[in-house]
Amino acid sequence: MGISEERIIIDGTDGAFLDRDENGLFLGCGDQKIRGDFSKMVRRIKQANLERELLIKASRIKGHNDGLTAVDATAGLGEDSLLLAAAGFCVTLYEKDPVIAALLEDAMNRAKNIPELSQTVSRMTLIKEDSISAMRSLDIHPDVILLDPMFPERQKSALVGKKFQLIHLLEKPCEDETELLNAAVMAHPRKIIIKRPLKGTWLGGRKPDYSINGKAIRYDCIVMPPV
């Protein structure tokens, strides 16, 4: 990143920059802006709506309801983590891209001041690091590890919105999928949940134990043997 007087210009992009306005930190390019924003998630995390979320269905572990822990190894702007935290998980979020991590941190800080979100966000801890090395040496065996690396198909898909166009300026599709999955396996969670496009290949070529399908995406679930 190179620093100009008003804003942080991001090297290696076509003029993208980080800047701040009255609504917080944002990533800009031309007239496009994106920022992390949990306030739009308030309805989604209401209990009745949460139960319908595929991620929450995928995260259920029979006989385990209390003190649940999750690692979101590919946090992005943290929306999936917020869903898990709203469902009661204490979530550790790893984000390796410094620009995305800065946007996420700002969104989390703003959410602390929103009454409907503050309790949920208090269960989220951001670590601005690569999760691959971190997962190889975790102190605990989390209940759930969530993996949602960028997939090449998403670039071509009609689902690619403004948010992802800008994020793609920074983040290349994941090239270390197998390493990411292997590190998650090494951490011995009860379950690994992998978000994929509905017709996407299995992450690292590993067949999941079962999948939960939505209209455009699916969650592949690998149930791990007890440690």
Ligand X SMILES: C[S@@+](CC[C@H](N)C(=O)[O-])C[C@H]1O[C@@H](n2cnc3c(N)ncnc32)[C@H](O)[C@@H]1O
Q: Under the criterion CB under 6 A, does residue 80 sit at the interface with ligand X?
A: yes
Q: Which residues pair with 144 in a beta bridge?
A: 70, 191
Task: Name which of 160 and 174 has its Cβ closer to ligand X.
Answer: 174
In whole angstroms, how close is the CB of 226 to ligand X at the nearest point?
26
- The set of residues, in sequence order, having a beta carbon less than 8 Å from that of 225 and lying 6+ positions away, is none
In whole angstroms, how close is the CB of 127 to ligand X at the nearest point?
9
The dihedral sign for the CA sequence 104, 110, 115, 118: positive
Q: Under the criterion CB under 6 A, does residue 71 sit at the interface with ligand X?
A: no
CB 91 within 8 A of CB 83: no
Q: Under the criterion CB under 6 A, does residue 45 sit at the interface with ligand X?
A: no
Burial class (CB in 10 A: 0-12, 13-18, 19+), 130: middle
CB 193 within 8 A of CB 212: no
In the window 90-129, what residues touch ligand X (CB under 6 A)?
A: 94-97, 100
CB 79 within 8 A of CB 41: yes
Among 28, 76, 189, 208, interactor with ligand X by CB under 6 A: 76
Comparing CA positions, the residue from 150, 156, 153, 147 lying closest to residue 170 is 150
CB 176 within 8 A of CB 204: no
Q: Under the criterion CB under 6 A, does residue 132 sit at the interface with ligand X?
A: yes
- Per-residue string for binding with ligand X, 133-162, x by CB under 6 A? ---------------xxx------------
- Per-residue string for binding with ligand X, 176-195, x by CB under 6 A? ----x---------------
Rounded Cα distance, 60 and 68, in Å: 10
Task: Name which of 134 and 224 has its Cβ closer to ligand X.
Answer: 134
Q: Under the criterion CB under 6 A, does residue 77 sit at the interface with ligand X?
A: yes
Q: Under the criterion CB under 6 A, does residue 171 sit at the interface with ligand X?
A: yes
Binding site residues, ligand X, CB under 6 A: 73-74, 76-80, 94-97, 100, 130-132, 148-150, 171, 174, 180
